[in-house]
Amino acid sequence: DTTPLTIETSVPFTSHQCEAPSRSVETTPKELLSFFRQMATMRRMEIAADSLYKAKLVRGFCHLYDGQEAVAIGMEAGITKKDSIITAYRDHCTFLGRGGTLLEVFSELMGRKDGCSHGKGGSMHFYKKDSGFYGGHGIVGAQIPLGCGLAFAQKYSKDETVTFALYGDGAANQGQLFEALNIAALWDLPAILVCENNHYGMGTAEWRAAKSPSYYKRGDYVPGLKVDGMDALAVKQACKFAKEHALKNGPMILEMDTYRYHGHSMSDPGSTYRTRDEISGVRQERDPIERIRKLILAHDLATEKELKDIEKEVRKEVDDAIAKAKESPMPEPSELFTNVYVKGYGVEIVLMSHVRESLALKYC
């Protein structure tokens, strides 16, 4: 059902150096239902990742996105797959939003062949270049200049597309943000810097890490918008607006006011530096999925039962993907040495593998 529907954003946009877009967002029943399904999938996926981690099937770091789904979903609704996205280590849902599959997610998390990085990247390093997703970066802040570089290449190639570079409130203090933003502004790069402000960088509340937590004003001289990041429609509106702006005038900053329900990563209970009340308050009042559920019900686009069914379907999809991922084999031992260089180790490239002869003995 694609009958147009206009819905007001939860709160007005706050703008800096620009006029805010309208609060009335165009959507369709179809879009709302797909928002619901996709966000439910993301939520379910992250909960499942949590369980897999606890079952020791996922190793190392694992940063979950539940609570922040509206950013990934709303952004995709406002742009196309020709636009580029780059983000940090909290990348599972961003990858899914770009068209990645549950099987790729779970396989990667478990270090299997069918993972989006064939098991070589892990939780923090998902990519999907064919639809413009450039990772998945583990170093706080690094993706911001990298994203501006993607935007540079888009402009250089006259592609008329833009890049969204996502980072956290903690990352927003990084010097490389200021360096990249200055260059992006000097060169009018079609870069949108998206600060996913979930109000904590690990255990540090935003105000303890930033003298000025107005992230949408980070570059004095660059227009910015503060957006309710729990409202997928507001995110969509803002991203559309920012894309148009960026193609014409260069960079823009979007601050998404959002929240992560989980701790920072699996080793963080997430409850020592914030109250349980704070978390449950957000869940009750601002949850991005519930917001869409209410809209759907209020506009009679589906029944409660239908939505529950979608959730059931989603749960099954996730379970099926996990089952399949568990059957995906570990990468071949020989994969240890592939992809270090594009052309692999040819005659020209002397691998020092004999340094650990054992490897050669065991696997080559």
Ligand X SMILES: Cc1ncc(C[n+]2csc(CCOP(=O)(O)OP(=O)(O)O)c2C)c(N)n1
Interface residues with its own copies (CB under 8 A)?
173-179, 182, 185-186, 208-212, 214, 217, 219-222
Q: Is 96 helix (H, G, I), strand (E, B) or coil?
A: helix
φ/ψ of residue 116, rounded to 5: -65, -20
Mask 142-181, x = binds ligand X (CB under 6 A)? -------------------------xxxxx----------
According to the binding rule CB under 6 A, does residue 264 interact with ligand X? Answer: yes
Q: Which is nearer to Mg ion, 37 or 260 (CB)?
A: 260
Q: Is 51 helix (H, G, I), strand (E, B) or coil?
A: helix
User: Which neighbouring-strand residues pair with 200?
Assistant: 205
Instruction: Return the residues of window 205-234 that contact ligand X according to CB under 6 A.
Output: none
CA separation for the pair 87, 179 (Å, rounded): 18
Q: Which is nearer to its own copies, 16 or 44 (CB)?
A: 16
Q: Which is nearer to another protein, 42 or 85 (CB)?
A: 85
How many C-beta neighbours within 10 Å does residue 274 have? 16
Q: Which two tokens stand for residue 165?
A: 């570079």
Q: Least distance in Å: CB of 176 to its own copies?
A: 5
How buried is residue 113: exposed, middle or buried, by Cβ count under 10 Å (0-12/13-18/19+)? Answer: middle
Instruction: Return the residues of window 210-269 that contact another protein according to CB under 8 A.
Output: 210
Closest residue by beta carbon to Mg ion: 168
CA separation for the pair 123, 64 (Å, rounded): 9
Q: Are 64 and 259 in contact (CB under 8 A)?
A: no
Total of chain residues touching Mg ion, rule CB under 5 A: 4
Q: Which is nearer to another protein, 277 or 348 (CB)?
A: 348
Total of chain residues touching ligand X, rule CB under 6 A: 14
> Out of 81, 125, 315, 324, which residue is the one contacting another protein (CB under 8 A)?
125
Residue 249 binds which one of its own copies, ligand X, Mg ion, none, with CB within 5 to 8 A depending on kind?
none
Q: Least distance in Å: CB of 178 to Mg ion?
A: 18
**Given strand 14-16, what is the order of strands in its sheet?**
14-16, 224-228, 252-257, 191-197, 163-168, 84-87, 133-136
Give the binding range for another protein (CB under 8 A) out of 32-40, 116-124, 235-243, 288-296: 116-124
Give the binding range for another protein (CB under 8 A) out of 5-13, 63-71, 131-139, 303-311: 131-139
CA separation for the pair 257, 183 (Å, rounded): 26
Q: Is 250 helix (H, G, I), strand (E, B) or coil?
A: coil
Give the binding range for ligand X (CB under 6 A) out of 136-144, 156-164, 307-315, 326-334: 136-144
> Out of 154, 198, 237, 258, which residue is the one contacting ligand X (CB under 6 A)?
198
Please list, in sequence order, all residues whose beta carbon lies within 8 angstroms of the beta carbon of residue 162, skipping any fewer than 6 positions away: 79, 83, 84, 151, 154, 190, 191, 192, 242, 243, 246, 247
Residues 252, 246, 243: CA angle, nearest 5 degrees: 95
Instruction: Return the residues of window 263-282 that contact another protein according to CB under 8 A.
Output: 272-273
According to the binding rule CB under 8 A, does residue 175 interact with another protein? Answer: yes
**Side-chain half-sphere exposure of 326, counting CA atoms within 13 A:** 10
Residue 349 binds which one of Mg ion, another protein, its own copies, none, with CB within 5 to 8 A depending on kind?
another protein
CA separation for the pair 207, 210 (Å, rounded): 5
Q: Is 8 helix (H, G, I), strand (E, B) or coil?
A: strand
Instruction: Return the residues of window 152-181 that contact Mg ion according to CB under 5 A.
Output: 168-169
Which spans of this chain sit near ligand X (rule: CB under 6 A)?
A: 90, 138-140, 167-171, 198, 200-202, 264
Which spans of this chain sit near Mg ion (rule: CB under 5 A)?
A: 168-169, 198, 201
